[in-house]
Amino acid sequence: MKTFMMCEPAYFEVSYVINPWMSANIGLVDRALAARQWQTLHDTLAKKSHIRLIEPVTGLPDMVFTANAGLVHKQEVIVSTFRHTERQGESQHYTKFFADAGYHLKSLAPGVIFEGAGDALFDATGELWTGSGPRSDEAAVTEITNALQVSIHALELVDPRWYHLDTAFCPLADGYALAYKHAFSAASAALLQNKLGEKVIWVSDEDALNFACNAICLEHEVILYRASSELKAALKHYNFSVIEIDVSEFMKSGGSCKCMTLEI
């Protein structure tokens, strides 16, 4: 059974703008609705996995997006170093959480920005895919390779709307993956195509804008905000079923289902 780290949205709001989705949504989060939506996601996952909660902290509204706590590999963790000052205060709380839980903390060279599992995703074979550009530095790749001794496929993100790798790419079971071509440089899109071949499911603009790639894959269930009937059909064809969870309040902050979890 998988274990996910989550953080209740007790202090969640949109109070600053660090991605394009947030700019029209300052002060517009319905916190009671957000709490219910988060609980639905939590309860859905809790049926098939373990959940560990980290305490939310006032003044750190984006802590709900635990995908950005760090990158966990076996008993090792690289805690995130955030690009924006608004989120930098989160790192100390993640460091404490992982230290208390007995993880080995690995750090990157000073000044290297790396936003954890938002920008680094293991596929079913254990290979790591990283994203750089809007958030994580390209230099993080060499650092992660050295720290965790894993092989990496590095991808470049080129559109500020898909600012973390997990907004545009999602490895699934059996070697399949969801991806949105226009989020990537031409070379990175070609790398995805070459490495995954027929197993890459390219999503439409509509699905990409609904963050369909920000999905949690639990065996053959894909949990996400919204998927078009075309995408559902494509997934069904490969033996995946879709569970849609309304996370509209978190979309206002540029985050969806997968961002609110971190596999630990």
Q: Is 254 in the site for ligand ARG (CB under 6 A)?
A: yes
Considering beta carbons, is residue 70 or 255 the nearer one to ligand ARG? 255
Q: Cβ(29)–Cβ(253) under 8 Å?
A: yes
Burial class of residue 66 in the structure, from the number of CB atoms within 10 Å of its CB (0-12 exposed, 13-18 middle, 19+ buried): buried
Looking at 70, 118, 134, 171, which residue binds ligand ARG (CB under 6 A)?
118
Segment contacting ligand ARG (CB under 6 A): 14-22, 168-176, 201-209, 216-224? 14-22
**Distance of closest approach, residue 50 Cβ to ligand ARG, in angstroms:** 20
Q: Cβ(247)–Cβ(41) under 8 Å?
A: yes
The site that binds ligand ARG (CB under 6 A) totals a number of residues, namely: 16
Segment contacting ligand ARG (CB under 6 A): 120-128, 136-144, 162-170, 216-224? 162-170
Q: What is the 3-state secondary structure (H, E, C) of 46-100?
A: HCCCEEEECCCCCCCHHHHCHHHCEEEECCEEEECECCCHHHHCCHHHHHHHHHH
Q: Is 203 in the site for ligand ARG (CB under 6 A)?
A: no
Map residues 207-246 to x or -, x wherever contact with ligand ARG holds by CB under 6 A. ----------------------------------------
Q: Is 255 in the site for ligand ARG (CB under 6 A)?
A: yes
**Distance of closest approach, residue 26 Cβ to ligand ARG, in angstroms:** 12
Residues 43-62 touching ligand ARG, rule: CB under 6 A, are: 62
| Catalytically annotated residue among 93, 164, 170, 257 | 164
Q: Cβ(76)–Cβ(106) under 8 Å?
A: yes
**42 is an active site residue:** no
- How far apart (Å, rounded) are the C-alpha atoms in residues 261 and 145? 23
The pair of three-digit structure tokens given for residue 216, joined into one six-digit string: 């949690």
Q: Cβ(157)–Cβ(184) under 8 Å?
A: yes
Name the residue whose CB lies closest to ligand ARG: 118
CB atoms within 10 A of CB 161: 18
Considering beta carbons, is residue 70 or 235 the nearer one to ligand ARG? 70
**164 is an active site residue:** yes
CB atoms within 10 A of CB 122: 16
The residues, any chain, with a CB within 8 Å of residue 197's CB and separated by 6 or more, are none
**Distance of closest approach, residue 194 Cβ to ligand ARG, in angstroms:** 25
The residues, any chain, with a CB within 8 Å of residue 87's CB and separated by 6 or more, are 18, 60, 62, 68
Looking at 93, 164, 181, 226, which residue binds ligand ARG (CB under 6 A)?
164
Applying CB under 6 A, the residues found at the interface with ligand ARG are: 18-19, 22, 62, 65, 67-68, 87, 118, 164, 166-167, 253-255, 259
Could you list the active site residues?
164, 259
